[in-house]
Structure 1
């Protein structure tokens, strides 16, 4: 009789309805030629595209960093990477579920866009 409960347990765990997939991950590959010093990722189309820096330390050129995506969080992200010289590399609308590797090439580096809400005063 002990085998029946074990068999039921194994059958229950094998059913797709109960099998939970873990949160996925995605990778940022830096090939820009300089350190990536900050990364802000927001859901594509977010009303307020602000976020915190997801890099605890710079990612050197040629290196990569893996990020976890919480279950239920959006797959389509707008990624903004600030480089050591102040330029930015932007990957807008990248689906990290379909394509979990984001590669930043040197051509992706552009002058940084002015921060929203900040205007320069003529002096």
Structure 2
């Protein structure tokens, strides 16, 4: 039986599967960019917070608030990020990786250059 992928490996696979995605460190964290804009950041015990998350962009602060209110065990605010970003908990036994992948892809769409979206996006 194959070893399950660790959360960073899962996030990396999901993010890097998107067109023109790049990974580089930002503030010491594995961070994913498209067209020079960040669309996801992996954090593990960031500043000793004890959480493992992927930060993703939402359409706006209202969508972020809605997610935080609807599922506070899954979504969290992201320290040092603007209000339209949320963290998705990755350290749960029931992590829904398809959902995480959808949120990473939606964040990619919000950051991707128009030419990629016009070419069919993801």
Do both proteins adopt the same fold according to a TM-score greater than 0.5, normalized to the shorter chain?
no
Who wins on radius of gyration, i.e. which is larger? 1
Q: Which has the higher strand share?
A: 1
TM-score normalised by the chain length of structure 1: 0.30
Q: Which has the higher helix share?
A: 2
TM-score normalised by the chain length of structure 2: 0.30
Structure with greater contact order relative to length (CA < 8 Å, sep ≥ 6): 1
